[in-house]
Amino acid sequence: MNPVLKSRTGGKMKRYNVAVVGATGMVGQKMLQVLEEMKFPVDNLYPMASARSAGKTVQFDGKDYTVEELTEHSFDKPIDIALFSAGAGTSKKFAPIAAEHGVIVIDNSSCWRMDENVPLVVPEVNPEDLKDHKNIIANPNCSTIQAVAALKPIYDNYGIGRIIYSTYQAVSGSGVKGYKDLEEGSKGEDNHFYPHQIAYNCLPHIDDFLDSGYTKEEMKMVNETRKILHDDSIGITATTVRVPVYYGHSESINVETKKPFEIEDVKDLFNHTPGCVLRDDPKNNVYPLARDAEGTNDVYVGRIRRDDSAENALNLWCVADNIRKGAAANAVQIAFSLIDQGIL
């Protein structure tokens, strides 16, 4: 069990009024599922979405709930916490309204991540940052979450001078449209969302290209990693690739540490790192796989080996379910951490 969530097992826990904004979307539906699985102490649930989705029915804890339209008055009712997964535009407009009503917003969009007044949190990495929240908390980018979870024990024990990210990201990271492009493309149909066919192909293109030649996704990983680790001195570069996998992001990470290390000691760190699972027995074909990560909330780490081309450098491979740990589960874990720390 993840230590971040231990408190839910002992004693009677206060119950909370919870809103899920974007409740009919891929991540919103998963948030509802994870809230139920993790037994978050929900008193009243308020699923919300756009006018187009209002009136639809979602299920939670064996009950049907009618989705209400998100408006400026949605937070007039008593709500303790709101999980947002409805896009940056919606978050920019409605998160401040909720915050003004005393609601703690955990936002899954990119809108608030780099705002200096908004904590960007992975509970296993920097839960202490939650104490500085001003009613809006940002959920990091899916690819960043699993990366920093794997890097945190290395950073704490050896320091990090440079990181090279190469990611292989599932189509569910693009939402339903990306999922359908792979599903239909696998049947020989034309793509409608990605600029090129994703079936049987890899696209070195996630989000828009910037003038620098990097994509927004690549720069999210650079900037978010530095913010979460509170270290702007780390040299970071990234190449992010969309691959024909439905669920589970895979990442090759090259790390240069500031202190020397023994590779077996690095491996052993992950036997004691909350939220990480070591899968590293290559002689027996044991290493992290997207198919194994699907449907779970952990980050799987393996292929840990020394990089002999640089001093104090190593390579690792990490995998996680991008809709769960990369989005919904991390948001719910943040909510539990708020309770554990007595903030909520």
Q: Where do we find the tokens 């001093």?
A: 311
Return the C-alpha torsion angle 150, 153, 157, 163, nearest 10. 20
Please enumerate in sequence order all residues whose Cβ is within 8 A of that of 262, keeping only pairs 6 or more positions apart, or say none. none
Distance CA 340, CA 72 (A): 31
Q: Strands, E, within 123-173: which ranges?
A: 136-138, 160-169
Q: How many residues does the chain have?
A: 344
Q: Which has the closest alpha carbon to 108: 182, 16, 173?
A: 173
Pairing of strands 16-21, 42-49: parallel
Q: Are 127 and 8 in contact, with CB atoms under 8 Å apart?
A: no
Catalytic residue among 142, 230, 272, 276: 142
In degrees, rounded to 5, the angle at the alpha carbon of residue 297 between the alpha carbons of residues 327 and 263 is: 110
196 is catalytic: no
Residue 261: phi, psi to the nearest 5? -145, 160
Residue 154: phi, psi to the nearest 5? -70, -45
Distance CA 181, CA 244 (A): 10
Which helix (H) or strand (E) segment is 224 a member of? helix 216-229
Residue 201 has which token pair? 């192909």
Catalytic residue among 133, 249, 276, 318: 249
249 is catalytic: yes
Q: Annotated active-site positions, please? A: 142, 249
